[in-house]
Amino acid sequence: MNWSKDMKTNRPYHHPANMAVIVMLLWVLLAGTGCQTVPLAKPKAEPYQPSNYSASRTYLAPELVNVAVITPEAGRNISAGHDETLNVLKQIYRSELMKTHAFAVRVLDSDTLNTLTGYRKIYSDHVFSKDFFKILKEQLNCQAVLLSELTSLKTMAPIKMGWHMKLIDTDTLETIWEIDEFYDAGNIHVAAAAQTYYETQLSAAFRKPDPELVLASPRLFGQYTLDSVFSTLPPRK
């Protein structure tokens, strides 16, 4: 018996075309695996920068020392049922303004405002008589008045807030600074700015920092919006 002949006939035979298919399948498998292990990074959105503001002065004048700050009111188009959120925002408003160190703050609540001027609520678009500013200047020794209004508010996600503010000289009645900004947490640029603010300014106060938290909390989002608004005030020279 010719054993060498029988062993030759039992060897598997691979056609060249089949080998090419196998090589191609292996190449596709390896390429697919490689794509899965190296995911593409998502481009980071540019943080939002407020732009709808104007200032008649490059710097705050040295003689501008005291400012009468009227507690912000909810705009006429904001529906009822936000009393708790409004009270929180009023507290944050004062603390964020104090952080700027731009001037000495003389806060006026509605009762004090009514006693001095006869007005209980003041909106940013109110038309005032000249006596209004004269009274505040004489009674509070202030060189300017800051008027603020919450023009928009939505506390369900995505949170939305709008602010309109004016800083008015009590002598000349010139508008030193004015801003009218709207912040929508659903906007990727606003969200990026809010998360950056949270990570750099607030996260140390929380046990488990999570940038998403600022987009779900009216208090934290309110802090971000006010910090953003007050950042546009003219600086001290």
The confidence score (pLDDT) of residue 27 equals 53
In the chain, which residues have pLDDT < 50? 1-9, 13, 21, 23, 28, 30, 33-38, 40-41
- CA gap 80, 53 in Å, rounded: 28
The confidence score (pLDDT) of residue 47 equals 96
Structure confidence by residue, pLDDT tens digits, 44-77: 799 999 999 999 999 999 999 999 999 898 988 8
Q: What are the C-alpha distances in Å from 143 to residues 106, 167, 191?
A: 11, 10, 36
The confidence score (pLDDT) of residue 81 equals 82
The torsion of the CA quartet 130, 133, 134, 140, rounded to 10 degrees, works out to 170
Q: What is the pTM of this model?
A: 0.79
CA–centroid distance for 59 within its chain = 24
> For 58, phi and psi rounded to 5 degrees?
-70, -35
| Residue 76: strand, helix, or coil | coil
- CA gap 91, 84 in Å, rounded: 11
Q: What is the DSSP letter of 101?
A: -
The confidence score (pLDDT) of residue 202 equals 73
The confidence score (pLDDT) of residue 38 equals 46
| Residue 204: strand, helix, or coil | helix
The confidence score (pLDDT) of residue 124 equals 77
- CA gap 61, 234 in Å, rounded: 10
Gap between the terminal Cα atoms of the chain: 109
Instruction: Give 198's Cβ-side CA count (13 Å radius).
Output: 21
Q: What is the DSSP letter of 236?
A: B
Residue with tokens 């009468």: 68
Give the strand pairing for 144-154 and 160-169.
antiparallel
